[in-house]
Chains A and B, each alone.
Chain A
Amino acid sequence: MEKKLSLTKNSNMYYYVLVISNTYYCKSEIIKWVIILENITEMLKGVLEGCVLEIISRGETYGYEITQQLRELGFTDVVEGTVYTITLRLEKNKLVNIEKRKSTVGPPRKFFTLTEAGQKQLESFWGKWDFISSKLNELKVR
């Protein structure tokens, strides 16, 4: 006798649809926290990207500057290579505008600003973050 949980996806939130066998049933509380944990894993992957989007939204900037700001925030392990892969992804998904400017040292440098899609992605990121942090606070005060 087994309980089966199958997954359906609804606009970025995961819901478990419970298929109950004849004698088992799960407490809805457990399911709720499983759903939240799933979201947290997704969120952690996106946290650094969200931070980069936020930093770019505050004004035109470039790789080295973004790395410095992340380090000041407390992400001390962040290297420019990491930021580079994030900005490459943002560029590919058209979330940022790129302007190449000549620099006094070395090759021309890319300067980033947010596109409208990038702005929306940023807002969606903060929305998800607010949701998850409020749920975790709920857990803490219990």
Chain B
Amino acid sequence: MNFLEKITGSDMTKEMKGFEARALALPIEYQAAWKEMMSNLWIHGDFTGRNLMPIFDSALELLEVTSADGQSIEEVLGEDIKGFCAALVGDEGAKTYRDKWRDQLNKNVARKLGGLK
């Protein structure tokens, strides 16, 4: 991405539009699952959400291949969509914004306590 894209995120907007188009091509029940996955995945986004782009791509790829196979959405994702999304993001990326806030709070408290000693 060039400099302008870095500040405006315009390449991400383009990518998201592409993802939306692919999602619309899916069967209805898959689209509902896709919406739920999106909301679960955004929690794991970093400041710009750029880290999620390849993850959305992988998720859509799975949905496209399995819908072409004719599987039902329960067969593909089971009952635990949240767990699936967490697993997609991977172990390092599994920090939600809550975890980041918690880490920051812990760091600040530790620093304050360290200063009091």
A residues with a Cβ closer than 8 A to B are 63-64, 77, 79-82, 84-85, 88-89, 92, 103, 105-107, 109
- A contact patch SS: helix
Query: Is the beta-carbon distance between A80 and B58 smaller than 8 angstroms?
Result: no
A85 to B62, CA, bound (A): 10
Contact with A along B58-86 (1 / 0, CB 8 A): 10011011111101001111100000100
Query: Is the beta-carbon distance between A88 and B58 smaller than 8 angstroms?
Result: yes
B residues with a Cβ closer than 8 A to A are 58, 61-62, 64-69, 71, 74-78, 84, 87-88, 90
17 A-B pairs, CB-CB below 8 angstroms?
Answer: A63-B62, A77-B78, A79-B76, A79-B78, A80-B71, A80-B76, A81-B77, A82-B84, A84-B58, A84-B62, A85-B87, A103-B68, A106-B64, A106-B65, A106-B67, A106-B68, A107-B64
Question: Which of B58, B61, B75 sits near A79, CB closer than 8 Å?
Answer: B75
- B contact patch SS: helix
- How many A-B residue pairs lie within 8 Å, measured between CB atoms? 47
Which residues of chain A come closer than 8 Å to B75, judged between CB atoms?
79-80
Which residues of chain A come closer than 8 Å to B88, judged between CB atoms?
85, 88
Query: Is the beta-carbon distance between B58 and A106 smaller than 8 angstroms?
Result: no
